[in-house]
Every structure is written in C-alpha cells, then in structure tokens.
Structure 1
Amino acid sequence: MAHRLLPIALLSTAAAVTATACGAGGERARPVHGTAPAEIAGVGYTSAELAQALLLHVPGYRRAGEPDSGEYGTLKAVQNAARLQRGTVLDKPRCGTARPGGAVAPDVPAALVTFAKKGMTVTQTLMGMPASDAEKQVNARVPADCLTFRTKVGSHRATHRVVETPKGEIGEGSRTVGVATSTGTTGTRTWYVVFRGRHYLATITLHGPTATRAEAERIARASRAQASKILP
C-alpha cells in the first residue's frame, strides 16, 4: 500500500497525541538493513546515502535513538504510525484515506532521525524518488473539509484544526502545514515542512506545545543545507 504524506500524516499525529493521553508508549527507531528495489535499479539515492545526509544535530535537542534507514515501509516510525492509524476512529473517514497528491511507495529508499527535548520532538525523513513524484507531494493540498476533524482512540477524544500556507521556496519547492490539537484542557501543535531536492523528498515534523512554523522552517532549511553537502 502506498503511504500518503498528508492528510495521513495529520491522522498519524492525531492518533499519536490521543494515544499519549491513553498512556501508550512509543518505540525507538532502529537501523533496518534492507535494499529497496529502487536502489538495485540504481534510481536516485540509496537509503545508505540518504542516512549520510541526515541532520547530525538540532540546536537545543538531543538525538533520540539511532537513525533508521531502509525501505520506507519498514521504518519503525512509519510502522508505528500505521498501527496508531488502525486504532483511530476518525469523524471524517475520507480525510484518512484521501489522496490529495502523489503517494510514497513503501519500497522507496528512506532514512529517518528524531531529536527530542522536554515536551518537543523533531523528526526528519529523507526519501529517494524522482522529481515528478516529489513535486506531486509538494503541490498536494489538504481538502477544505479536512481542515477540522476529530479523532478517538479508545475512550479518549481530540479535536484538530489544520492550517496550510502557500507554496514555499525551501529547496526546490516546499509546503508547510500546521495542526493544532486539543484534548480536553490540553493543547499541542505540530508543524510539517515538506520540500524536495534533486532526486529526493524531505519532511520535517516539529511536535510539541510550543511548536512554531518559524522553528519548523528553520530546521527544514538546515536539513536542506546538510543534505546539499552530501547528496550531489
């Protein structure tokens, strides 16, 4: 099954936020040693090359576990998100299955790393793909009727509001999406920045009570600068 970055990513975060309220724990990423078909065919970058291009540090944060690399669908964070989605009830089911843009195939080469500090996390994902597929992800937009939605995990409910900015200029084109989540009296924010480079797509996810668009885009620019040093 192909993986849609948005709004599936929004649902993943929604599920994660609600699951946290339920007391569910996450798993640390671990390296996956596999070779994607795209790597065998020599198309774009390998997962090993993408792993070399990951951010080494994020000021104020510490790396959470080891970077993960391999086929996109085998990454631990992607598998965890899929499990959360299966346990999440969405008040607008089409918002969890809509396909606003291109899809990320589960066998594309990918690498992921997460950084954390108290109450905040930053996740960077690099995916090898043709420019045309990456452009579809950058051009995708969240459907108008999916800008607000509600989720339930067990007996815990949450409300989510989405904002999307005009197309940006990070890398060779970018998009930024923000999600404000409310669970009772508790609120948190998530910002996604998706941008493309030469033969790859990158995502930065900034999550926490004080997450801002400015910080997410600053980290995305640092991600682009780091990747440019490694990926020709």
Structure 2
Amino acid sequence: MAQRLLSTAMLLTVTATAAVACGGGGDDDPGQQVKANGRAALAGTSYTSDQLEQALLAELPGYRRAGEPDSGEYGGLKSIQNFNQLQRQVTIDKPRCSNAGGARPGSPPMDKSAPTAITAFVKDNGQNVTETLMAMPADAAEKHVSARVPPGCLTFRTKVGDQWADHKVFESPPGTIGEGSRTVGVSTLSGSSQLKTWYVVLRGRRYLATISLIGGAATRAEAEQLARLADAQAKRILP
C-alpha cells in the first residue's frame, strides 16, 4: 500500500511539475529547424544532440545510472513522449497553474525539433536525478531562466484516478549557476507519502540545462550542487 501511494505521489509530482526536459510544448519558429549529419541540429547553434549527449554527466557519487542516455530531437525522445502521455492522466484543480511547479511557467513553448540529450540516475532509496541539455540561443535560454511562477499558483492540487495530491511551490531568487539560473522546489503530499522535487534551470553558452531531483529527502542544496557539476561537465566538453 505504501509503495502504491509513493508511486502515485511521484506520478502526480512529475506530471504536475513539468520541467524543461519533460514539458509538453509547441514549436518555436519552424523556419529555424535544420538537420545535420542525420542528427538534430538547430540553426543559430553549434551543438548537435550527439555533442550534447557527450556533455552529459557520466556518473554521480552515490547514484547509479538508470539506463542509457537518450538524444535526438526534443519531441521525438521516448522520455518526452512518455511524459506527455502521463500528463494527460492528471487533473489539476487550477487549470491556469498546469505548469506552475515546473521550471518554465510563462516561458516560450519548447521547440520539438531542438537538439536534446537526457540522462538519469537513481539511488538505492529511490531518489532520482535527471539531467537534460538542450541546444538553444542565449536570448531564448534567458527567457526560460527568468520565468516565474504565476500569481496564485504557489499551491494547487492534482488528481490521478481517485488519488489526490497537494502541492506547494517554493521559488528561489535568481541564481548564478552557469550564466544564470533558476531554482524551483515542489513539496507533494499524497495520502501518507511525501515527495520533494527540486528543479534547477541554468543557461550556458548556446544551451539550456535542467537538473531535476526527486525524493523524500531531496534538498535544494543537493540539486544546486548537481547543477554545478552538470555545468562544469558541459563547459569541459562543449566548445
């Protein structure tokens, strides 16, 4: 029973707090979309999804990698498609807050053809980390970093099946990780299970990076430390 509640709480949390890596979204200007060497590339950027995959974290102390990294066009990634399917199962009591807990409320929609790479890690206690790198011009990335939670959306409720969950959003002041960052936390209570989610979105040179940390003991400090590691790795690899 406890495991079922935990699983439901995680589903409610993930779907109600869509991060940059896992949010449904429309296309930006399709005139900017091109292909390079059979892998996704975006006009105005120099990074392909292959390059972004090489720049992902390969390991994290205390975690093991959960499967192989995935890369390609944002809208074609299996994890994004699975998320969009899960999101359709969720009912929210404040429809205007459907992305309130995510890393990009009020931001422009994601370009489904943008080069993207994703990797995930998990601890023995079930706590998990996801890193996403997406090729993006600096001005577009800045709009995602500077987005803020809409008024009245710091608390909301979601429902999957007959299971309700209560969410409380914590938004930190603008940060300085990378070339500018944003940190958002969400506390989720579903039945007797409680989960915490922290998202850190940071802007690099021609890319946007997102770290999501989910677990009962997840903290802002750990999420931001993971974001610093991801930023350092990306800077080492990407020209």
TM-score for both structures, normalised by structure 2? 0.81
Match of 1:90 among 92, 95, 106: 92
2:191 is equivalent to residue 184 of structure 1: yes
2:177 is equivalent to residue 170 of structure 1: yes
Letter in 2 for 1:198: R
Secondary structure in 1 aligned to 2:109? coil
What stretches of structure 2 of length at least 5 have no aligned partner? 1-7, 16-36
CA separation of 1:185/1:167 partners in 2, compared to 1, >3 Å: closer, same or farther? same
C-alpha offsets along residues 117-147 of structure 1, whole Å, 9 cap, x if unaligned?
A: 1220000000001001100000000112111
Match of 1:16 among 11, 15, 26: 11
- Please name the residue that 2:50 is paired with: 48
Aligned equivalents of 1:75, 1:85: Cα separation in 2: 16
Letter in 2 for 1:57: E
TM-score for both structures, normalised by structure 1? 0.83
Query: Are the aligned partners of 1:129 and 1:200 in contact in 2 as well (CA < 8 Å)?
Result: yes
Letter in 2 for 1:54: L
Deviation at 1:95, TM superposition (A): 1.2
Aligned equivalents of 2:199, 2:156: Cα separation in 1: 17
Letter in 2 for 1:216: A
1:1-232 matches, within 5 Å, as 16-17=11-12, 35-36=39-40, 38=42, 41=43, 43-96=45-98, 100-117=106-123, 118-232=125-239
Deviation at 1:34, TM superposition (A): 5.9
Aligned equivalents of 1:205, 1:183: Cα separation in 2: 20
Aligned equivalents of 1:124, 1:141: Cα separation in 2: 21
Moved over 6 A (4+): none
Query: Are the aligned partners of 1:44 and 1:130 in contact in 2 as well (CA < 8 Å)?
Result: no
Point out the more displaced range, 58-67 or 80-89.
80-89
Aligned equivalents of 1:158, 1:223: Cα separation in 2: 31
Letter in 1 for 2:109: A
CA separation of 1:227/1:167 partners in 2, compared to 1, >3 Å: closer, same or farther? same
C-alpha offsets along residues 85-104 of structure 1, whole Å, 9 cap, x if unaligned?
A: 11110101111268512222
What stretches of structure 1 of length at least 5 have no aligned partner? 1-12, 21-32
Q: How many residues align?
A: 206
Aligned equivalents of 1:130, 1:53: Cα separation in 2: 17
Aligned equivalents of 2:145, 2:9: Cα separation in 1: 21
Secondary structure in 1 aligned to 2:142? helix
Query: Are the aligned partners of 1:18 and 1:152 in contact in 2 as well (CA < 8 Å)?
Result: no
Query: Are the aligned partners of 1:18 and 1:153 in contact in 2 as well (CA < 8 Å)?
Result: no
Deviation at 1:17, TM superposition (A): 3.7
Letter in 1 for 2:90: T
- Please name the residue that 1:30 is paired with: none
C-alpha offsets along residues 66-119 of structure 1, whole Å, 9 cap, x if unaligned?
A: 000001111222111111111110101111268512222111000000000122
C-alpha RMSD of matched pairs (Å): 2.1
